[in-house]
Chains A and B, each alone.
Chain A
Amino acid sequence: MKNFFRISFLIALFLGFQFNSNAAEKVEYLKTDWSFKGPFGKFDRAALQRGYQVYQEVCSSCHSMKYLSYRNLVEEGGPEFSVDQAKAIAASFEVKDGPNADGEMFTRPGRLSDKFVMPYDNEKAAQAANGGAYPPDMTVLVKARGGGVDYIYSLLQGYDDPPAGVTLDDGVYYNKYMYGNKIKMSNQLSDGLIEYSDGTNASVEQMAKDVTTFLMWTAEPHLETRHKMGFKAIVYLIILTVLVYFSMKRIWSRIETKV
């Protein structure tokens, strides 16, 4: 039994080492405290609402959010806007609908059941408007990048003058954290760029943190439920394991062999 654990531990250690080494080639990212990390992690409601504001006022002019619906903004574990707030948000967008009885397409104000309106009609239009680079959809962006939230958070603050010897083409910018250091998105955040509706000081760091938190939620909308359920499931399993262990000891005590 002891050896069993020892060897299991070594295997786990090895696997852990392997995953770390996969990520080792990257630069050191900026660190911040994420409220959603760890087994009891939860989203900071206010940060999510501010993050939505940053997405709405800054990112959404180029980046789509195609797997998210306006109704998600109300749901538990998310920004938890009130239904009226979310309805107002949805209604502020023009949604193409139809065809109607006359066979015509028409536009109408958005409803909660609508998906987030896309900034461009299609991928080609998005590329044409952005110097050939397609601004990636942001819904699962955090999960689609090796460094996750730390990477996005750093990238937003990673703009710098290029070091000597690095020449940049027109429409290409230098970013410390970007893979290959060259990025086609210009620096988007500057202090006081937006005015937070809750009065928080809109520093670059604050906005980067808020919008990254928001993106974590869009990628993992059920994160809070998952953490809560995980805790219950594991506690349940541990208690059951202990009970079964003692039952096992009792049953095996009928014969001499130890288990």
Chain B
Amino acid sequence: MSDHEYTPKSKVGKWFNDRLPLLTLANHLTDYPTPKNLNYWWTFGGILTFCLITQIVTGLVLAMHYIAHADMAFQSVEHIMRDVNYGWLIRYIHANGASMFFLAVYIHIFRSLFYGSYKSPREIIWIIGIIIYLLMMAAAFLGYVLPWGQMSFWGATVITNLFSAIPLVGEGIVTWLWGGYSVDNPTLTRFFTLHYLIPFLILGLVVLHIWALHVPGNNNPIGIDIKKPSKDTVPFHPYIVIKDGFALLMFMIVFAFFVFYTPNILGHADNYIEANPLVTPAHIVPEWYLLPFYAILRSVPDKLLGVIAMLSAILILAALPWLDTSKIRSAVFRPLYKQFYWILVADVLILGYVGAMPAEGLYLLIARIATAYYFLHFLVVLPILGFKERTTPVPLSITEPILGGSPNLAAVKKKDGFRNQ
């Protein structure tokens, strides 16, 4: 990993480090050569780490007061909101933290898509990231069930019922998941257990994600391989630490605004009604961050195919490094890809919008077109684009673009919609 040998200065340090090289690790993390042209879209990795830790710490405190029982869960949440010291604050941070986590992860993913960060040699980082994303969705869904409100209960019913679409064993699997013949207390207790487990799985994967990142090093806005360390890089500390810190603080301001001033806007009012198996809410909708996939699910008339489409929409991302045939990473030098990229962003936003609407009439039609386009982008557009597209010249290094034979850096600065000033 690190290019030079590190020896601690003190004798004790050396003695310890020879037995457990923690100091070498710390030295590697501080010196880690990072491309100096990283823009603010690169700060979301740090922000996501912050989100994960926030969720784990607040979740830990909530778990001390929460009661995972169908008769007491709703009441225990109200107990947290009213009687636990600053319980309202901790719960609102945890509930809004989930939304903030997804907001950050979507920006992180779309940053990767724009700058081609998933391409060789970073495929493993990307695939670990997709697994983390899947686990995040599982954790978010399980967590949403725990307050045992109406949306918790009916959301759990709808999502677990998806498994019944599996031929032959589907019904059996659903009964097994529920621990009975309907969503009830056994479902709640196992969901609580799994909700507690998953964040630690994510934490482990995050370590692997960062480890895998530190092998080739960061991609960068112009997407070229750079020498490390060199004029093109800066040590992680203090340059990137302070920049990530600044971005994190701005993110926290937005976060705080939600927590303190509109803590319930991202949730659904029906979840303040205690779960009632006899009353079905008028519209069952998932949280905003799952809406695009919900739209894909509903746009397919057949249940099994719908579930397959929804899963494929996520899993197709894991194949992205091989579906995208272009050798150029950054969209900055790919004029056509850049346009398709923004169409994809719009497509996903449209899917999110129709996911919140009833699946009928015009909304359904739009959902179907948007779903078709989503797959078209990955399965047809990207593979063909790599062969057909005429890319613009790529500089050879970050500091000395002229040597690449093109006056590109000036052009990059003007053209690149993402580049910071």
Which residues from chain A contact B243 at a C-beta distance below 8 Å?
248, 252, 259
Q: Which residues of B contact A230 (CB under 8 A)?
A: 256-257, 259-261
**Chain A residues touching B, range:** 35 or more
User: Is A257 a contact partner of B256 (Cβ separation < 8 A)?
Assistant: no
Secondary structure of the B contact surface, majority rule: helix
User: Are A229 and B249 closer than 8 Å at their CB atoms?
Assistant: no
Contacting A at CB under 8 A, from B360-384, are: none
Q: Is the CB of A18 within 8 A of B353?
A: yes
Q: Does A106 contact B (CB under 8 A)?
A: no
- Pair B272/A140 contact, Cβ less than 8 Å: yes
Per the 8 Å Cβ criterion, residues 325-360 of B in contact with A are 349, 352-353, 356
Measured between beta carbons, the chain B residues less than 8 angstroms from A4 are 39-41, 418, 420
Q: Answer whether residue B89 sits at the interface, using C-beta atoms and an 8 A cutoff.
A: yes
Interface residue B236 (Cβ < 8 Å from any Cβ of A): no
Any chain B CB within 8 A of the CB of A93? Answer: no
Stretch at the interface among B195-203, B263-271, B385-393: B263-271
A241 adjacent to B253 (CB under 8 Å):
yes
Residue B194 CB within 8 A of the other chain: no
Q: How large is the interface on B (under 10, 10 to 19, 20 to 34, 35 or more residues)?
A: 35 or more
Judge if A234 is at the interface, Cβ distance under 8 Å: yes
- Residue pair A227, B260 in contact (C-beta under 8 Å): yes
Contact of B257 among A136, A234, A248 (CB under 8 A): A234
Q: Inside 8 A of A255's CB, which chain B residues have their CB?
A: 36, 234, 239
**Residues of chain A lying within 8 A (CB to CB) of residue B253:** 234, 237-238, 241
A244 lies within 8 A of B242 (CB): yes
Quick check: B260 and A226 within 8 Å, CB to CB? yes
Chain A residues whose CB sits within 8 angstroms of the CB of B272 once the complex forms: 140, 143-144, 219
Q: Is the CB of B356 within 8 A of A22?
A: yes
Q: Does B252 touch A at the CB level, under 8 Å?
A: yes
Return chain A residues, CB-CB under 8 Å to B261: 39, 227, 230
Contact A144–B36 (Cβ < 8 Å): no
Quick one: which of B270, B282, B349 contacts A144, CB cutoff 8 A? B270
- Residues of chain A from 240 to 259 with CB closer than 8 A to chain B in the complex: 240-241, 244-245, 247-248, 251-252, 255, 257-259
Interface residues of B in 224-270 (CB under 8 A from A): 234, 238-239, 242-243, 245-246, 249-250, 252-253, 256-257, 259-261, 263-265, 269-270
Contact of A226 among B88, B238, B265, B420 (CB under 8 A): B88
Q: Write the chain B residue with the least CB distance to A68.
A: B82
* Contact between chains at A252 and B41 (CB < 8 Å): no
B residues with CB within 8 A of A? 36-37, 39-41, 75, 78-79, 81-82, 88-89, 92, 234, 238-239, 242-243, 245-246, 249-250, 252-253, 256-257, 259-261, 263-265, 269-270, 272-273, 282, 288, 349, 352-353, 356, 417-421
Q: List 28 A-B contacts (CB under 8 A).
A: A1-B420, A1-B421, A3-B420, A4-B39, A4-B420, A7-B417, A22-B356, A67-B75, A72-B82, A139-B78, A148-B269, A222-B88, A226-B260, A227-B260, A229-B260, A230-B261, A234-B256, A244-B242, A244-B245, A244-B246, A252-B239, A252-B242, A252-B243, A255-B36, A255-B234, A257-B37, A258-B421, A259-B420
